[in-house]
């Protein structure tokens, strides 16, 4: 999956003593003899260009402690392609089958077998390569989260391990979140707001944001009611220097027993049946356009001020 990252902002330079020591010990390395531009390109080919799902799992060595793990996305449909498909689909329809459960296989595979992960061996070759390429896994990959608390904890953990020379949060350029309408309307609303506040405060160099919203029809609130808190919650992300924002809506999850009749949705759950009008793609596309305008408005103001 291709990642369209912006220019690299965080740069690391070796201190004179380290540079002299590294040059002496690595003088025979063909890789380190290359010009810096070529070395950077190689680092990015090896360590970047992926869409990465982040999750917190119980450690195999310490069953009482959960640690962050990652796995590379399996889906062949990029976020940019998903956005194009969503925007260009017939507004009279109510769903886009290709967008439903795009990352479901990724999460299912991560729990069984050996999911595909990044290989960090290059960073362990020598100190010079580590100092030159430490930021590449952060700046040249997209990080995806499906849980608000885990996103918040991830930001805090990167802050704890950062230093004046290696700020991991500031190295990140691209972020993606998977949300449901019910998450935004019910107990997860405050969780996502806290996570977005942390992102806006710490990850100040993010240039690309992606949101996948599952309507999540249930006996709870309908999609249009759930989307209003989300619109207010993501507004804080407009403080970031965003260049690209993608937002697509699917309707993968359905709880209880659902019946479709004349454009209406009967949903059965613990509290009985509810009768909802299914929103058309035109309605969803209109809301998405408004949400993307909210996300990018600060960037547009900054560009206007620069001109």
Q: What are phi and psi of 294, to 5 degrees?
A: -65, -40
Band the pLDDT of 220: cuts 50, 70, 90.
Answer: very low
pLDDT single digits (tens) 65-115: 678 889 999 888 899 999 999 999 998 888 888 888 888 777 766 655 667
* Antiparallel, parallel or unpaired: β 264-269 and 257-261: antiparallel
Which one is predicted more confidently, 95 or 230? 95
Is pLDDT above 90 for 268? no
State the pLDDT at residue 174: 97
3-state secondary structure of 76: coil
Closest alpha carbon to 12 in 119, 168, 155: 168
* Antiparallel, parallel or unpaired: β 244-250 and 257-261: unpaired
3-state secondary structure of 263: coil
Residue 252 has a CB neighbour count (10 Å cut-off) of: 18
Tell me what percent of the residues of the chain surpass a pLDDT of 70.
66
Q: What are phi and psi of 289, to 5 degrees?
A: -60, -40
Is pLDDT above 60 for 138? yes
Closest alpha carbon to 47 in 120, 117, 115, 144: 120
pLDDT single digits (tens) 19-46: 556 555 566 788 889 999 999 999 999 9
Tell me what percent of the residues of the chain surpass a pLDDT of 90.
39
Averaged pLDDT of the chain: 78
Is pLDDT above 70 for 163? yes
Closest alpha carbon to 51 in 93, 15, 5: 5
Band the pLDDT of 189: cuts 50, 70, 90.
Answer: low
Residue-wise over 5-38: b if at least 16 C-beta within 10 A, else e? bbeeebeeebeeeeeeebeeebeeeeebeeeeee
* Residues across the chain: 307
Band the pLDDT of 226: cuts 50, 70, 90.
Answer: low
Q: How far apart are CA 146 and CA 161, in angstroms?
A: 23
Closest alpha carbon to 50 in 18, 83, 78, 19: 78
State the pLDDT at residue 191: 84
Estimate the share of the chain in helix, then strand, then coil, as percent rounded to the nearest 5. 45, 20, 35
Band the pLDDT of 53: cuts 50, 70, 90.
Answer: very high
State the pLDDT at residue 256: 42
Q: How far apart are CA 69 and CA 169, in angstroms?
A: 17
Band the pLDDT of 10: cuts 50, 70, 90.
Answer: very low
Structure tokens that stand for 76 in this block: 């062949």
State the pLDDT at residue 257: 42
Band the pLDDT of 299: cuts 50, 70, 90.
Answer: low
Is pLDDT above 60 for 267? no
What is the crossing angle of helices 188-202 and 148-161, to 10°?
30
State the pLDDT at residue 4: 38
């Amino acid at each position: 999956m291709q990642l369209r990252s912006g220019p690299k902002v965080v740069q690391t330079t070796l201190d004179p003593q380290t540079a002299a020591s590294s040059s002496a010990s690595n003088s025979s390395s063909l890789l380190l003899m290359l010009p810096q531009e070529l070395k950077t390109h190689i680092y990015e080919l090896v360590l970047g260009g992926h869409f990465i799902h982040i999750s917190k799992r119980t450690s195999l060595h310490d069953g009482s402690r959960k640690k962050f793990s990652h796995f590379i996305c399996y889906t062949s449909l990029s976020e940019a392609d998903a956005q194009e498909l969503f925007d260009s689909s017939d507004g009279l329809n109510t769903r886009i089958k290709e967008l439903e459960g795009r990352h479901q296989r990724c999460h299912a595979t991560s729990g069984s077998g050996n999911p595909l992960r990044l290989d960090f061996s290059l960073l362990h070759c020598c100190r010079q390569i580590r100092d030159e390429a430490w930021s590449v896994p952060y700046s040249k990959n997209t990080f995806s989260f499906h849980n608000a608390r885990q996103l918040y904890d991830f930001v805090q953990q990167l802050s704890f391990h950062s230093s004046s020379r290696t700020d991991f949060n500031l190295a990140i350029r691209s972020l993606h979140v998977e949300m449901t309408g019910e998450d935004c309307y019910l107990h997860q609303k405050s969780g996502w707001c806290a996570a977005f506040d942390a992102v806006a405060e710490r990850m100040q160099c993010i240039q690309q944001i992606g949101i996948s919203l599952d309507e999540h029809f249930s006996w709870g609130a309908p999609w249009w009611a759930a989307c209003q808190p989300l619109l207010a919650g993501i507004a804080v992300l407009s403080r970031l220097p965003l260049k690209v924002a993608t937002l697509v809506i699917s309707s993968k999850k359905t709880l209880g027993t659902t019946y479709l009749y004349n454009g209406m949705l009967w949903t059965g759950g613990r509290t009985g049946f509810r009768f909802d009008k299914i929103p058309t793609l035109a309605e969803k596309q209109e809301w998405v356009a408004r949400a993307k305008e909210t996300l990018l408005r600060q960037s547009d103001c900054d560009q206007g001020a620069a001109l």
